[in-house]
Chains A and B, each alone.
Chain A
């Protein structure tokens, strides 16, 4: 058998994929997050030395877990202070240490994500812990992704881990009765991780990580329709990634995207999940958003999009989560069928003054109604609030366009187009 050459890149990839599982297993065995993290880190350091010479072991993940476990045991033996702890924990579950190379370990990651996303922790802490412990990101990488200094992130992680220990946040999968309340923050964290990566190519790792963890969750909780819905939503959104940015890095809207470069494999997987969700008929917000994206993925062009279907899905979404952002998206979709005036009237009732996409949507509707001064003001407002350079560049471009447009009507073909804001 020809094993692949174990270079640093391959070992790095294995680390990303396997460390969460190893850390989760070790936390279960030893009941200590720091101990588990350090040991898995050490085991990978050993792998970096050994594997390039000896080749990859048949089951790299299992090798890491076993090596890390031995590290912890050595460590505990050395530390007299911890001797009592070792006696207790090793004595309590004498069989636990043997099974981790097999498939049963899967559950360990499930326990860990519910601990990381416990509602008693702040959302920021939930995200940081999930990326650090399950995603195997270094503290520095997590800090970088969320634009905070490394020491701040390190402090946040230390504090969160201390709370888990001190307050005795359990390490287990919630019961059926608790699940709806406890699953919500888990899915929200995965979605937030994905969205933290949509600003541009530097976010590639975060989006990949969110999809990888969602896929793992969907495999571990096959009965939870919303978990599948989240995975489908992420896949369908990600399928458009290559079409989202122009060569100069600015944003390309859905209507202007080259649909030929959409990733068909992701679309097919996402749509298959959406169909399975429809058959299951237990709709939830993630599933409906996935379904909306599935409708877009079906359409050969903006004009060929089944907008009535999309509006019906937004109606359903609005009934489940009546938030102004959902209402905004619904209004924009409605504008595609009934025109900008109808959509603008709906927007007037929404209170989203600080949301850049609200102003972007308004600007676009105003532009289509040829109220150019109002449109320019709204574009400027949207650009001022835009969270990423790509979006800001796009909005400023539109602002310039609307300001320099000749007399009303002359460039109608060019500018009389709606700007969809429901994903790009």
Chain B
């Protein structure tokens, strides 16, 4: 088993793209059905959706002091919007889950292996 991060990015300002109530409900139903499927396949480890990037804070060490600032850390047009952590037999199995997620949320999914779970 390899552990993978399936993450999706949202462009700043697009997070609140207006959706109709039906669209929201439909999307929510699909996502919870998919999570149920992941859980019964024992693939699901954790998942979550994040608030906008401007709600993030950054903590760093500067000299001997710990300094907290407004985030996010990476200045980019797009930021992490949500993620799944799953266990899968191999990349193809992980890509199959990613394909289901991307269909449910209509956004591209990035698939990353965790460093401490693969062949090494």
Q: Which residues of A contact B (CB under 8 A)?
A: 31-32, 118, 120, 165-170, 174, 178
A-B CB contact pairs (8 Å), 22 listed:
A31-B119, A118-B91, A120-B111, A165-B118, A165-B119, A166-B113, A166-B118, A166-B119, A167-B91, A167-B111, A167-B112, A167-B118, A168-B2, A168-B89, A168-B90, A168-B94, A168-B118, A169-B91, A169-B92, A170-B91, A170-B92, A178-B92
B95 located at the interface, meaning its Cβ lies under 8 Å from any Cβ of chain A in the complex: yes
Contact A169 B90 (CB under 8 A): yes
Chain B nearest CB, measured from A182 CB (Å) = 9
Chain A hits for B112, CB < 8 A: 167
Q: How far is the CA of A364 from the CA of B51 in the complex (A)?
A: 60
Q: How far is the CA of A118 from the CA of B91 in the complex (A)?
A: 10
Chain A hits for B90, CB < 8 A: 168-170
Chain A nearest CB, measured from B72 CB (Å) = 26
Chain A nearest CB, measured from B112 CB (Å) = 8
Residue of A nearest to B92 (CB): A170
B120 located at the interface, meaning its Cβ lies under 8 Å from any Cβ of chain A in the complex: yes
Q: How far is the CA of A174 from the CA of B113 in the complex (A)?
A: 21
Contact A168 B95 (CB under 8 A): no
Most buried by B among A32, A168, A169, A174: A168
Contact A120 B118 (CB under 8 A): no
Known: A32-B119, A169-B91. 7 other contacts (CB 8 A): A165-B119, A166-B120, A167-B2, A167-B113, A168-B113, A170-B89, A174-B92
Chain B hits for A169, CB < 8 A: 90-92
Q: Which residues of B90-120 are within 8 A (CB) of A? A: 90-92, 94-95, 111-113, 115, 118-120
The main secondary structure of chain A at its interface with chain B is loop
Q: How far is the CA of A170 from the CA of B119 in the complex (A)?
A: 12
Chain B nearest CB, measured from A85 CB (Å) = 9
Chain B hits for A118, CB < 8 A: 91
Q: Please name the 4 residue pairs, one residue from A and one from B, whose CB atoms are nearest each other, closest first.
A: A170-B90, A168-B2, A167-B113, A168-B90
Chain A hits for B92, CB < 8 A: 169-170, 174, 178
Contact A120 B91 (CB under 8 A): yes
Q: How far is the CA of A177 from the CA of B120 in the complex (A)?
A: 31
Residue of A nearest to B3 (CB): A168
How many of chain B's residues touch chain A, expressed as a range?
10 to 19
Chain A hits for B89, CB < 8 A: 168, 170
Q: How far is the CA of A118 from the CA of B89 in the complex (A)?
A: 16
Chain A hits for B113, CB < 8 A: 166-168
Chain B hits for A167, CB < 8 A: 2, 91, 111-113, 118
Q: Which residues of B76-92 are within 8 A (CB) of A? A: 89-92
Chain A hits for B120, CB < 8 A: 165-166
Chain B hits for A166, CB < 8 A: 113, 115, 118-120
Q: How far is the CA of A120 from the CA of B113 in the complex (A)?
A: 12
Residue of A nearest to B115 (CB): A166
Chain A hits for B118, CB < 8 A: 165-168
Q: How far is the CA of A110 from the CA of B2 in the complex (A)?
A: 24
Q: How far is the CA of A161 from the CA of B104 in the complex (A)?
A: 32
| B2-21 contact mask (Cβ, 8 Å, vs A): 1 or 0 | 10000000000000000000
Chain B nearest CB, measured from A62 CB (Å) = 28
Q: How far is the CA of A120 from the CA of B111 in the complex (A)?
A: 10
Q: How far is the CA of A167 from the CA of B111 in the complex (A)?
A: 9
| B34-51 contact mask (Cβ, 8 Å, vs A): 1 or 0 | 000000000000000000
Chain B nearest CB, measured from A387 CB (Å) = 33
Most buried by B among A166, A169, A174: A166
Chain A hits for B91, CB < 8 A: 118, 120, 167-170
Q: How far is the CA of A112 from the CA of B111 in the complex (A)?
A: 22
Chain A nearest CB, measured from B59 CB (Å) = 29
Residue of A nearest to B93 (CB): A170
Q: How far is the CA of A118 from the CA of B92 in the complex (A)?
A: 9
Q: How far is the CA of A169 from the CA of B2 in the complex (A)?
A: 10
Q: How far is the CA of A3 from the CA of B2 in the complex (A)?
A: 49
Chain B nearest CB, measured from A364 CB (Å) = 43
Chain B hits for A120, CB < 8 A: 91, 95, 111
Q: How far is the CA of A32 from the CA of B119 in the complex (A)?
A: 9
Residue of A nearest to B88 (CB): A168
Residue of B nearest to A31 (CB): B119
Chain A hits for B2, CB < 8 A: 167-168
Chain A hits for B119, CB < 8 A: 31-32, 165-166, 168
